[in-house]
Structure 1
Amino acid sequence: VTLLSNPQDWVFLTRFCFLTDFGRLNFKFRYPKSRCCQNILLYFDESSQWPAVYKRPDKDCYQKESVLRPENNQVINLTTHYTWSGCMVESEGNEEMLNCVGGRSFRSVRERWWYIALSKCGGDGLQLEYEMTLTNGQSFWTQHFSADEFGILETDVTFLVIFATVFTLSCYFAYNLKGRQLLHTTYKMFMTAAGVEVLSLLFFCIYWGLYARDGVGNGSLKILGKLLFSVSFLIFLLMLILLGKGFTVTRARISHSGSVKLSIYMTIYTITYIILFIYEAEFFDPGEVLYAYDSPAGYGLMGLQLLAYVWFCYAVLVSLKHYPEKQPFYIPFFTAYTLWFFAVPVMALIANFGISRWAREKIVNGIQLGIHLYAHVVFLAITRPSAANKNFPYHVRTSQIGILLSSPKGMGAESFPHHAYGNSSFLGDSQPNFTELFSIHSDPVKTIDETVARKGQEVPRNSEHKIITTTADLSSTFAPLPPPIPPRSSAHSTPPPRLTSHFTEYFSMQRATGMGPNA
């Protein structure tokens, strides 16, 4: 029950989007008979109705009532003379009270916004208690929902299941990457963004589930869901910029100036988001159907998104210039997220100017979640730890980064060694490949014949000035190995096992069957 006491003679109460055939308003109004007579006014969203009277200080109460059509039963007079109002006089102490209990059904050619106001033209203000229930049908999924909110609960539940699956897959991939020491910071940021997205959708689903039950819900849950949704977006955006700059792909750390710029940018982005929340909570007029991005803070966020895209483009181009062998990762990465960067501002503009207000909220909710899902699925696909994935970005192991960072300045402390991609280490099991654990591949590889031919010359080096060593070089440095000790003769003796193909035949101890030690 809401208590209203207002010195004005015309007051807006609430709005609701009714279905074409199943809209229903049930009301209870109670006020002193001495303050008779008050009216319920029902406006719809045609330009000649609600937009013509709301926030029009040049029109008085009588002019605002005059736009209503009596034949449409848009005025409910709260007196005993109007049968449909359901008003009865009741005594309460020494004062008589008008207690009005009734309802009204709504029918229209399409879903419409209806605006409910209260008036007492020429009187001394409004004072009453009221309770209203606005419904669409009797189904759990529609009863308490405005028509513009239809499908939001079902959509959020569906995306909650999908995002939970994405997060589970990311955890499984992270387990495999950690086993191969390729679980880098950027992948952890992706997992965090996906996990926060799941929490956000969980709170949204709880809120809409409670709302479907009683038509009220818990506003704190909705606010918390929005905050987590924004946090997930900011983490993912930061991860994209870091990857564009080559962090964990071509370099071990970001330069000091780059870190400062990133910190300033993300701080401004976060503050703008906070301003948007405050603006939406404090300045959005419930008498108007507004969208979060249809505000100064919303346009500021779109501008920051485009600025982030320019930065992203520059960072990717610089990374490709210095590491052209990373094209299998960066080209699909850049193409996919170019679409993502533009999707958010384009969606906001379409929502502001291209979607009818009675359908905006449910459509925007689905599009927004679809954009987030696209971003997460693409990243999950291009970073999957599979030998068939030619787009895999990482090639330096986490155990090597500390060694690279501890190297002297000017010796490549920030940049990784060149390598096309890191999926060659995926052997089909979840154990680390210890053979390549501390190796940094050099290209091109020298053959044994080339090395033998250059014996006595300078030590061979490759294009990165790293010494090339092969098993054939050992013969020029160390004394020959002593002859092998012949095995004891035994009827049950078995020949020594053949060594794996990773060792050359120069050090083979294999002997032909039936040959004696003097052969």
Structure 2
Amino acid sequence: MLYFLDQGGETEFGGWEAVYNSNLNCSERYAVAEQSSGAVFNLKDTAYRTSIEYIDGRVMTRAQVSTGIVTSRSRYFFFAVGNCNTACTADYCADGVDIYWSLNSTNGNDGMFYFGADESSLWATAVVFFSIYFLVAKNVLSIRRSLLNERKYHVTVSFLVVSVYCTWIRLLCDVVVYTKYKNSGKRTPAFEAISLLFAGISECMLILMFMLIMKGWTIVRRKISANGRMRLAIYLAIYVTAHFTCVLFYTQGVDPADVVYMFDTWPGYVLGLLRVALFLWMWRAKRVTLYKYNSKVRFYQRFTLFSSLWVISLPLLVCINYAVDEYFRAKLLYGIELFLLALTHTTLTVLYNPKYASSFPFHATTTAMLRGGVRMSNPKDISETQLRQATEISRRIKYGIGVLQQFSRDLTTFLEEIDPVEKDLIENDEELPGLGTAPVANAANTNSASKVNPFSRARKDKIPSVQSF
């Protein structure tokens, strides 16, 4: 059994690449292993060796070797098994190697020693972001309930909800994978596949939502043109195909001895180029949308900033991939990816929260979007529905003014009819039987008393008659 060390520097895997898939014969590869690391284990010399005879006549030998390696820095180790002495007839001298092997490597302190140097913080990172996304998912559920009550839970918001919960499920699978690996040193391929699947769904949902929002759908327009829908569908189909091709190519079609990063493949490069194209298109779409509709400016400024930051993060991570050491790459890129994703999801939940009126983007209800009752356009334009509503309001106001005018005329006529009756009542007043006249104070006031005093009595006694009239 041979093992090879990385070389460090710019030719990190130079020694291994010179041996792996090369034209060197077994003896030459044996010599490279001795020169680079000096580590060659002869399995026939190990004390842990037993022979097992199978029913078909084959005899298999079981051997076990254990060793320890101390290095001054983090390194990659590549193990290989070879049979170079083809002339001998003793054990372990067959012309080929029919082998079933298991390699158990430990590293670091107790409790985390199954993780390599490039994986030392993956479990802690997954647990932390799983807890963070539990709170984000709870907040998204609360916002969804509020938007449903206000009838403003649009399709674009549902894409955000799906993306958040897919990320939460992905992190749950990551926690399961890394917890089992921490305890037993064994992977769980099923949960790893589920994690990659939900990560892809979450990413595609965000991409779709970004494109629709940048076109103004559910924000300032009710419908996207047929050509616009076709272009969005073509781009999304290419992106989804490239993403899952990259995942399948990395998990099934790539030799792990050649590639140590998922996006260091040709589908990964295609994804990076698609992200760059989407980044440029988003800024152009924002300018066109604001130029045509000139509304929701504050929302689009914040939305474009955080969404474009996440979109361009993949090409940046691919570039960082070549700038950092291989043994530090996995945990760094995993943490940056989850941080930017959590930042984007959290920002979108704040923007979609109806409590923050300054950034809340929706003014049309879901019913209006489905039935077309509101034309999502420039607020200065007047739609046909608004004209009909204004005409109906004007008709009702005109009718109310007519009713008030008729009431005013009737009241005037009533007052005019009351005036002669009151005059006749005053002039032709009669005393009720049995009532005496008031004493006359002096002769000089007889005429005035005869005019004033009866009027006072008449108004006091005859008011009920006037009211009944």
TM range (shorter): 0.7 to 0.9
Q: Give me the CA root mean square deviation.
A: 3.2
Task: Please say if 1:86 is aligned against 2:63.
Answer: no
Q: 1:63 aligns with which of 28, 40, 47?
A: 28
Matched letter for residue 343 of structure 2 = Y
Q: 2:152 aligns with which of 162, 179, 182?
A: 182
Secondary structure, aligned partner of 2:102: strand
Match of 1:114 in 2: 77
Matched letter for residue 131 of structure 1 = S
Q: CA deviation at 1:105?
A: 0.6
Q: CA deviation at 1:225?
A: 0.6
Task: Please say if 1:52 is aligned against 2:22.
Answer: no
Q: What is the 5 A alignment of 1:183-332?
A: 183-332=153-302
Match of 1:126 in 2: 97
Task: Please say if 1:362 is aligned against 2:331.
Answer: yes
Using the TM superposition, name which of 261-270 and 108-117 deviates more.
261-270
Matched letter for residue 327 of structure 1 = V
5+ unaligned residues in a row in structure 1: which ranges?
A: 1-39, 406-412, 420-438, 443-460, 484-517
Higher relative contact order (CA 8 A, sep 6+): 1
Q: CA deviation at 1:399?
A: 2.9
Q: What per-residue deviation string (whole Å, max 9, x for no partner) do you get for residues 164-189 of structure 1? A: 21111011012112212221111111
Matched letter for residue 66 of structure 2 = G
Secondary structure, aligned partner of 1:364: helix
Work out the CA distance in 1 between the residues paired with 2:19 and 2:367: 69
TM-score, structure 2 as length reference: 0.76
Distance 1:238 1:229, change over 3 A: same
| Counterpart contact for 1:148–1:358, Cα < 8 Å | yes
Match of 2:367 in 1: 399
Task: Please say if 1:135 is aligned against 2:106.
Answer: yes
Secondary structure, aligned partner of 2:66: strand
Task: Please say if 1:384 is aligned against 2:353.
Answer: yes
Distance 1:70 1:272, change over 3 A: closer
Matched letter for residue 64 of structure 2 = V
Matched letter for residue 32 of structure 2 = V
Matched letter for residue 370 of structure 1 = F
| Counterpart contact for 2:163–2:206, Cα < 8 Å | yes
Work out the CA distance in 2 between the residues paired with 1:466 and 1:368: 56
| Counterpart contact for 2:294–2:378, Cα < 8 Å | no
Q: What per-residue deviation string (whole Å, max 9, x for no partner) do you get for residues 469-506 of structure 1? A: 599766534345869xxxxxxxxxxxxxxxxxxxxxxx
Q: What per-residue deviation string (whole Å, max 9, x for no partner) do you get for residues 140-160 of structure 1? A: 3x2222221111111111111
Q: What per-residue deviation string (whole Å, max 9, x for no partner) do you get for residues 100-145 of structure 1? A: 33311111011111011111114211134433311114533x2222
Q: CA deviation at 1:54?
A: 1.7
| Counterpart contact for 1:87–1:98, Cα < 8 Å | no
Match of 2:67 in 1: 104
Q: CA deviation at 1:278?
A: 2.4
Q: CA deviation at 1:199?
A: 1.1
Matched letter for residue 43 of structure 1 = F
Work out the CA distance in 2 between the residues paired with 1:89 and 1:161: 49
TM-score, structure 1 as length reference: 0.69
Q: What is the 5 A alignment of 1:320-359?
A: 320-351=290-321, 353-359=322-328
Q: CA deviation at 1:415?
A: 2.8
* % identity of equivalent residues: 23
Distance 1:471 1:210, change over 3 A: same
Using the TM superposition, name which of 390-399 and 308-317 deviates more.
308-317
| Counterpart contact for 2:4–2:37, Cα < 8 Å | no
In terms of Rg, which structure is larger?
A: 2
Using the TM superposition, name which of 64-73 and 157-166 deviates more.
64-73
Distance 1:183 1:416, change over 3 A: farther
Secondary structure, aligned partner of 1:76: coil
Q: 2:379 aligns with which of 414, 418, 437?
A: 418
Work out the CA distance in 1 between the residues paired with 2:49 and 2:292: 84
Match of 1:372 in 2: 341
| Counterpart contact for 1:289–1:357, Cα < 8 Å | no
Secondary structure, aligned partner of 2:105: strand
Q: 2:120 aligns with which of 134, 147, 150?
A: 150
5+ unaligned residues in a row in structure 2: which ranges?
A: 87-94, 409-466
Q: What per-residue deviation string (whole Å, max 9, x for no partner) do you get for residues 433-452 of structure 1? A: xxxxxx9999xxxxxxxxxx
Work out the CA distance in 1 between the residues paired with 2:109 and 2:372: 66
Work out the CA distance in 2 between the residues paired with 1:129 and 1:280: 24
Matched letter for residue 224 of structure 1 = I
Distance 1:326 1:105, change over 3 A: same
Secondary structure, aligned partner of 2:326: coil
| Counterpart contact for 1:89–1:96, Cα < 8 Å | no
Work out the CA distance in 2 between the residues paired with 1:481 and 1:171: 57
Match of 1:451 in 2: none
